[in-house]
Structure 1
Amino acid sequence: MKNFKQHGVNLTVDAPYSVVSGGGVLVGTKLFGVASDGAAEGETVVIVTEGVFAVVKPLTDVFAIGSPVYWNNATKVFTATATGNAYVGVAYTAAPNPSDTVEVRLNGFIA
């Protein structure tokens, strides 16, 4: 197929803000992934849009397996709080209070 470009799981984008390897990256309002390397704002960075990642969360947030996971673009943290945040995937593992990580299965896009 001559119009095929790529599978679209790993995408090279301009970092909308400084990001560290493993950090969340929201490009525009609908494209989300986890940075494969660190990058300064405006530099190119490869983001991974699908898969399971162990990510940092607030200590007090609680996730059951299958719970929705959101991205707070203001604080740059994965969270259980839906209001004002972007839905990015589901918890692959349970994460109690207190714990600082949850494994999230990314959806590949924001609905």
Structure 2
Amino acid sequence: MKNFHRSGNSNPVPAPAGGVLSGDGVLVGALFGIAATDAAEGAAVEIACVGVFEMKKTSAQAWTVGAKVYWDNTAKVATTTASGNSLIGVAVAAAANPSATGLVRLNGVSV
């Protein structure tokens, strides 16, 4: 295919304000992913947009398998609270209340 550019499983984006560390969630417009490396604000950083990742979550939430997971871009955590947040994927394992992390299958774009 002459028009194929890349798989899109990961994409380079400018690091948001404050920069990012490897493993951090990164939201740029409607594109969400997990930073592959540390990057200073504005520097290019490769983000993984699909796959299953262990992510920081709102501790006081219990997750069930298949629950919609959103990104809270203010607190920089995954959450099951939809209001004011961006849909990023689904939980692929149960997570207790309280717990610091949960497993999320990213859907490749935030909505």
After TM superposition, the score normalised by the length of structure 2 is: 0.95
Q: Are residues 1:26 and 2:22 paired?
A: no
Unaligned runs of 5+ in 2: none
Please show how residues 6-85 of structure 1 align to structure 2 within 5 Å.
Answer: 6-17=6-17, 18-28=19-29, 30-85=30-85
Distance 1:13 1:27 in 2: 7
- Equivalent position amino acid for 2:65 in 1: I
TM-superposition CA deviations, 1:20-76 (whole Å, max 9, x none): 111110011x11101011111101100000000000112111110000110011121
What is the RMSD of the two structures over their aligned residues, measured on CA atoms?
0.9
After TM superposition, the score normalised by the length of structure 1 is: 0.95
Unaligned runs of 5+ in 1: none
- Equivalent position amino acid for 1:109 in 2: V
Q: Which moved more, 1:90-99 or 1:13-22?
A: 13-22
Q: Which runs of 4+ in 1 moved over 6 A?
A: none
Distance 1:86 1:70 in 2: 5
Distance 1:16 1:5 in 2: 24
Question: Quick one: percent identity of the two aligned structures?
Answer: 51
Deviation at 1:81, TM superposition (A): 0.9
